[in-house]
Amino acid sequence: MGRRALPKIDQTLDLSRHFYKVETLPAPWDPVAIFGREAPLEIELGSGKGLFLQNAAMGTPERNFIGVEVAYKYAKFIGHRLAKRDITNAIAVHGDGLKMFREQVPDASLAAVHVYFPDPWWKARHHKRRVMNESFLEDVVRTLQPGGKLHFWTDVKDYYDAALELIAQVTPLVGPLEVPEREAEHDLDFRTHFERRTRLHGEPVYRSEFVKQ
């Protein structure tokens, strides 16, 4: 399924608190400088339209969230979404999330990493471009705190099976743990917009959770 056109955003809204580029994040890494407080930090790689980021931040205000999105217009839309609702514990970041993990995120600094419905790169010769690769998984293990979690969901069974096999091969993470599907309480009560569209089309979603001991 392709992405639908984004709604127009209010160009007068100040996004400086909610929208960053990877290169404008504090260096060295300093979440307190971003959020103004210390709190458990979770990062979502590939945030799309930001539904997870919005709902997770509003539902768990005691945690901070960073959503990284490679598409500029989507990242800016997420920043607008957060600013419009005055959500203070989440930001959108535009840029290469894999590079950010590799070069900026410190060891044992994250409570969770979220990867939902990443591009499956269907052709076999393009599988090396998939987000769930050995290098990224090494960074996930490195950056998660003990007890930290990796959440991985997809609607592509081949990708799901390949990713779980790779996680078992190259990481010490415990899992996959069962993630039951739950009924949505309202139209936007889904983890992401992509989950909503997939489930409304009656297609399966493959969910997994892993824990760092």
- C-beta separation of 116 from 52 below 8 A: yes
Q: What is the largest CA-CA distance in the chain?
A: 49
- C-beta separation of 143 from 107 below 8 A: yes
- For the residues of 123-161, what is the DSSP string, one character each? SGGGGGG-SS-HHHHHHHHHHEEEEEEEEEEES-HHHHH
Whose CA is closest to 64, among 40, 85, 47, 46?
A: 40
Q: Determine phi and psi for 189, rounding to 5 degrees.
A: -90, 65
Q: Is 155 part of the annotated catalytic residue set?
A: no
DSSP state of 23: G
Beta strands 110-116 and 144-154, pairing class: parallel
Question: 30, 96, 107, 119: which is the annotated catalytic residue?
Answer: 119
E strand or H helix at 101, and its extent? Answer: helix 97-103
Q: Give the residue numbers marked as catalytic.
A: 119
